[in-house]
Amino acid sequence: MSLVRSERRGAVALLTLDRADALNALDRATLLALEERIAELARDEWVRAVVLTGAGRAFAAGADIAQMRGMTPPEAEAFSRLGHRVFGALEVLRVPTIAAVNGYALGGGCELACSCDWIYASEKARFGQPEVNLGIIPGFGGTSRLARRVGVAMAKEMVLTGAPIPAEEALRIGLVNRVLPPDELLARAMSAGETIASKGPLAIAIAKRVMQEGQDVDPRVAHALEQQAFGLVFATEDRSEGITAFLEKRDPVFKGR
């Protein structure tokens, strides 16, 4: 059985971390399984959105502490690089990704959620970067991606105190987009995926990419990127269909061309 299950529900793929006995702790094998699932999704032109969740009572309780116990500094650096490689691949997937955080999202689990385009949280979710309790620091992007979501001072408070926060506080600081009853979480995340799937896939992919790339550059460069991309989508059949359908008062049928 795979450590990361992948299933398709229409055009939305659901990935589930499936190591519930260890609260979905991210060991090398789980990271490699996740990488494989991500690579499959990247090749699958029928998938339009991805929802990522965890089996059992955790989303992921972090990097696997037992596996880290005997690591030498070079091994730890390689482990961090592996996590970055996998989370980086998730971040640049052409289709939008939604983390449905069902429980603990601690350490590497919080970093994994932050590698998705946005996060929906169950009322039971708890977020945190508790690495300093172990005498270590975040290693899968927590010193950078978290700060982008919540601002550097809030990220410093989470990383430097190690204190977890409940879902409602995660909502207040902008870490998550919505807090939902546990039994509605997955359905709401899948429904957001279906909404995305009903749009033109090229426009979705280009909008995601421009927003992502635009974060890292001077605003003038971001504006220029947007202008070019805006021109680019006008070369697609989908924009003719979308605009014509609006003017003809009917639903568009996008083909991804």
Name residue, tokens 């899948």. Answer: 190
Q: Which residues pair with 58 in a beta bridge?
A: 104
- The answer to whether residue 242 forms part of the interface with ligand CAA (CB under 6 A) is no
What is the C-alpha R_g of the chain? 19
- The answer to whether residue 142 forms part of the interface with ligand CAA (CB under 6 A) is yes
- The answer to whether residue 59 forms part of the interface with ligand CAA (CB under 6 A) is no
Q: How far apart are CA 121 and CA 103, in angstroms?
A: 8
Which residues 6+ apart lie within 8 Å of 140 measured at CB?
A: 26, 63, 80, 83, 84, 87, 107, 108, 111, 112
Q: How far apart are CA 225 and CA 176, in angstroms?
A: 27
Active site residue 157: no
Which member of 38, 52, 63, 204 binds ligand CAA (CB under 6 A)?
Answer: 63
- The answer to whether residue 29 forms part of the interface with ligand CAA (CB under 6 A) is no
* Contact region with ligand CAA (CB under 6 A), list: 17-25, 84-92, 196-204, 212-220: 17-25
- The answer to whether residue 54 forms part of the interface with ligand CAA (CB under 6 A) is no
In this structure, the number of other CB atoms found within 10 A of the CB of residue 136 comes to 15
- The answer to whether residue 66 forms part of the interface with ligand CAA (CB under 6 A) is yes
H/E segment holding residue 214: helix 201-214
Taking the complex as a whole, how short is the minimal distance between the CB of residue 57 and ligand CAA, in angstroms? 7
The residue number with the shortest CB distance to ligand CAA is 107
- The answer to whether residue 111 forms part of the interface with ligand CAA (CB under 6 A) is yes
- The answer to whether residue 158 forms part of the interface with ligand CAA (CB under 6 A) is no
Where do contacts with ligand CAA occur on this chain (CB under 6 A)?
Answer: 22-23, 25, 61-66, 83, 104, 106-108, 111, 130-131, 134, 138-140, 142
